[in-house]
């Protein structure tokens, strides 16, 4: 670029990108959250209709499958050429979609409900299963991406 063009097109200033980046991130999280919440609603309902609601299987399946997917996305994001290494796709997929799809708040409420109903063994089983299976699923997500590379 010559001197005349430099005067017409000043150097890029990162500060000028702050507002557009915030708006873009907000839109990414919002859209991902809407889709994640809808997916959670349908998966949880599907599981509840199939196996009943005496044990929170729907939330367990959601949290474990979400952990598996976040393991995949987490590993993919380590590759600088991956789409998930970029802010907006990460905000959409992980912060938005998986943030709304998985839920520790429901996990906590359902665990306390089981315990308050005198079902201490079920409550403890749910905690152990949720943590163990979710950590295993996240690790499997990473392993799957590594195996496919």
pLDDT per residue over 26-53, tens digit each? 999 999 999 999 999 999 999 999 999 8
Q: Measure CA 112 to chain center.
A: 24
- In a domain? residue 4: no
- In a domain? residue 129: yes
Q: What percent of the chain has pLDDT over 70?
A: 89
- In a domain? residue 3: no
- In a domain? residue 37: yes
Average pLDDT over residues 68-93: 92
Q: Quick one: pLDDT band at residue 6, thresholds 50, 70, 90?
A: very low
- In a domain? residue 8: no
Q: Domain range for residue 93?
A: 13-148
Find the range with the poorest average confidence among 13-22, 24-33, 84-93, 137-146.
13-22
Round to whole Å and give the CA distance between 5 and 27: 34
Q: Measure CA 99 to chain center.
A: 4
Largest CA distance in the chain: 79
Residue predicted with more confidence, 4 or 66: 66
Average pLDDT value for the chain: 88
Per DSSP, helices labelled H in 52-119 are 57-77, 87-90, 99-101, 104-116
- In a domain? residue 26: yes
The tally of domains found in the chain comes to 1
3-state SS assignment for residue 36: helix
57-77 and 18-51 helices, crossing angle to 10°: 140
- pLDDT of residue 66 exceeding 80, the answer is yes
- Enter the DSSP assignment of 78: T
Round to whole Å and give the CA distance between 142 and 39: 22
Average pLDDT over residues 108-132: 94
Q: What is the pTM of this model?
A: 0.74
Q: Quick one: pLDDT band at residue 13, thresholds 50, 70, 90?
A: low
Other C-beta atoms lying within 10 Å of the C-beta of residue 13: 8
| Radius of gyration in angstroms for the set of CA atoms belonging to the chain, rounded to a whole number | 21
pLDDT of residue 47: 95
């Amino acid at each position: 670029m010559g001197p005349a063009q430099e005067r017409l097109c000043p150097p890029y200033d990162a500060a000028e990108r702050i507002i557009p980046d915030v708006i873009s991130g907000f839109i990414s999280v919002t859209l991902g959250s809407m889709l994640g919440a809808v997916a959670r609603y349908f998966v949880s309902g599907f599981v509840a209709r199939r196996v009943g609601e005496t044990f929170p299987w729907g939330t367990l399946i959601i949290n474990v499958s979400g952990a598996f997917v976040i393991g995949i996305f987490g590993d993919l994001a380590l590759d600088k050429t991956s789409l998930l290494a970029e802010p907006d796709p990460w905000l959409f997929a992980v912060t938005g979609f998986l943030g709304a799809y998985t839920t520790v708040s429901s996990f906590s409420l359902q665990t306390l409900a089981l315990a308050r109903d005198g079902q201490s063994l079920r409550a403890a089983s749910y905690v152990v299963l949720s943590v163990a299976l979710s950590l295993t699923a996240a690790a499997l997500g990473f392993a799957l991406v590594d195996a496919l590379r």
